[in-house]
């Protein structure tokens, strides 16, 4: 018997319209699943009442024949999105207790489409991290376990769900939400999707509004859906996307009907395999999956060609100059004056209050990136670092532009390894940053990309592959992702231990 909580976004929508179950039954089932999975620490705040309120409205709308695209589908919201009347922290102590009086555009769009909210999902603080260990509210634990964990797997080697959207990836993989929002600055949707065996879609920069989304690096941040199938991501992205005059980077273009146009037929398409993505020390299992995925794409009708993106090796260094620089500017607003945490030592002046508040409110990784960003923007270093990084970014974008003359999409691994254990890379920030080696280049170029699960490694952990496409070609990216999804037949899920 299929449980309601095992259904994805599209199946829930269709079942609700067919009256196979009520929206209230769905909300109650997922509320119960969220409560039962507290050990994952996937949520910072749960909102069962809001899920039930939305369900009651959905049942009325469905009964009246006025169902909306997501009526009765409860989802999780990454805590980077401001939600009216619900604490929004970006995973940071400095925003603990902050309750917005406004709604982010992306969440407003989802709720207008009929979705309910199960709660706010845990994340790396200010989206700075690749393991969900920098959250002030504690790390999220992946629902997956390695095979060699012995009979008592619950108490053995907890794994990272990836980051920064680790709460989202863990919740979707554990089937405690059917789908959820993520954000991607350098890979924070795609890498956690690969770690947990789900699908994550980063749309073209500007496709989804950034208004009401707590800023990390404004020229890179982009919202996107995370779910258990390409189809579910298409359904969610249709509701999330759209022009927003409140965001100066929002693209004034129509929102296509992605779900209706999904097709896994790649006849006449050419997929490029970039030679520069073969990095040193990449596990053989990832390289084998990459080759297998190329075979799947060929089976779907695509021609496979090798291509070159010569400036790929400079992408990570450029990213870790540009993103911290923008973060240092964006995070200057957290000063203890207007909202959030305020540390005011007795007799302190204004500057001392700023220092005390930021010292107490920001975690070590956030402080590290603020200091890097401030350094590269400082007098005497701006031209040497920040300007040079921006020039490299332009060269990387040009590499992609030239590549599109030879192919329609690119096929790459999503991450350089399977999920690692919590704490394994905590003392090695460089090793942690290398998790983004396959995802950062497309982020710098603002291109759409999707991560799709392809199989398991020898320890029984998920591995993912990535499709990158041209700007605004989310349809093509999802179609190619669907072709891989159908051939991978990835149906594995984490063995329940929580």
Catalytic center residues: 78, 164, 188
Give yes or no for a contact between 165 and 192, defined as CB atoms under 8 angstroms apart. Answer: yes
Which burial class, exposed, middle or buried, applies to 379 when counting CB atoms under 10 A from its CB (0-12, 13-18, 19+)?
A: exposed
Helices (H), 101-209: 105-112, 166-173, 190-196
- Give every strand in the sheet of 270-274, ordered side by side: 43-46, 116-121, 74-78, 179-184, 222-227, 199-202, 449-456, 462-469, 409-413, 270-274, 303-307
Nearest to 436 by CA among 174, 188, 98: 188
Q: Dihedral sign for Cα 159, 77, 452, 455, please.
A: positive
Regarding beta strands 409-413 and 270-274, do their DSSP bridges make them parallel or antiparallel, or are they unpaired?
Answer: parallel
Work out the angle at residue 194's Cα, subtended by the Cα atoms of residues 452 and 110, and round it to the nearest 5 degrees: 70
Contacts for 338-341 with beta carbons within 8 Å, 24 or more apart? 339/95, 339/98, 340/94, 340/95, 340/96, 340/97, 340/98, 341/93, 341/94, 341/95, 341/96, 341/97
DSSP 408: S
Give yes or no for a contact between 418 and 195, defined as CB atoms under 8 angstroms apart. Answer: yes
What's the chain's Rg over C-alpha atoms? Answer: 21
């Amino acid at each position: 018997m299929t449980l309601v909580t095992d259904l994805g976004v599209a199946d829930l929508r269709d079942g609700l319209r067919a009256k196979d179950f009520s929206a209230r039954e769905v909300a109650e089932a997922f509320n119960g699943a969220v409560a039962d999975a507290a050990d994952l620490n996937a949520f910072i705040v749960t909102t069962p009442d809001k899920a039930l309120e939305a369900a009651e409205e959905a049942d009325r709308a469905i009964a009246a024949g006025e169902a909306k695209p997501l009526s009765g589908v409860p989802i999780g919201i990454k805590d980077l999105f401001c939600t009216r009347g619900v604490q929004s922290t970006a995973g940071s102590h400095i925003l603990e207790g902050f309750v917005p009086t406004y709604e982010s555009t992306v969440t407003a769009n989802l709720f207008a489409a009929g979705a309910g909210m199960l709660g706010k999902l845990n994340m790396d603080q200010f989206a700075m991290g690749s393991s969900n260990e920098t959250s002030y509210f504690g790390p999220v634990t992946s629902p997956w376990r390695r095979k060699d964990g012995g009979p008592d797997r619950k108490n053995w080697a907890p794994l990272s769900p990836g980051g920064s959207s680790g709460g989202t990836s863990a919740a979707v993989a554990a089937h405690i939400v059917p789908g959820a929002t993520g954000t991607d600055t350098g890979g924070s949707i795609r890498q956690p999707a690969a770690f947990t065996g789900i699908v994550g879609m980063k749309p073209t920069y500007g496709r989804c509004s950034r208004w009401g989304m707590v800023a990390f690096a404004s020229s890179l941040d982009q919202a996107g859906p995370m779910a258990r199938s390409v189809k579910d991501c298409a359904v969610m992205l249709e509701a999330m996307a759209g022009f927003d005059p409140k965001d100066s980077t929002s693209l004034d273009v129509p929102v296509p009907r992605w779900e209706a146009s999904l097709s896994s037929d790649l006849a006449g398409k050419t997929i490029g395999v970039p030679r520069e993505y073969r990095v040193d020390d990449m596990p053989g299992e990832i390289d084998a999956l990459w080759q297998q995925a190329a075979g799947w794409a060929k089976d779907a009708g695509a021609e496979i060609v090798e291509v070159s993106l010569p400036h790929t090796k400079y992408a990570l260094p450029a990213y870790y100059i540009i993103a911290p620089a923008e973060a240092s500017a964006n995070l200057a607003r957290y000063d203890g004056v207007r909202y959030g945490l305020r540390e005011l030592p007795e007799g302190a002046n204004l500057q001392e209050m700023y220092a005390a508040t930021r010292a107490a409110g920001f975690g070590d990784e956030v402080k590290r990136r603020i200091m890097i960003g401030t350094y590269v923007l400082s007098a005497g270093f701006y031209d040497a670092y920040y300007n040079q990084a921006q020039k490299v970014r332009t060269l990387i974008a040009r590499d992609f532009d030239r590549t599109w003359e030879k192919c329609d999409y690119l096929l790459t691994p999503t991450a350089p390894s399977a999920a690692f254990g919590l704490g394994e890379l905590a003392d090695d920030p460089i090793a942690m940053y290398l998790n983004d080696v396959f995802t950062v280049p497309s982020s710098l170029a603002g291109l759409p990309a999707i991560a799709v699960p392809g199989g398991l490694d020898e320890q029984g952990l998920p591995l993912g592959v990535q499709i990158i496409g041209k700007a605004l070609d989310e349809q093509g990216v999802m179609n190619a992702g669907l072709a891989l999804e159908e051939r991978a037949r990835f149906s594995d899920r984490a063995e329940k231990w929580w």
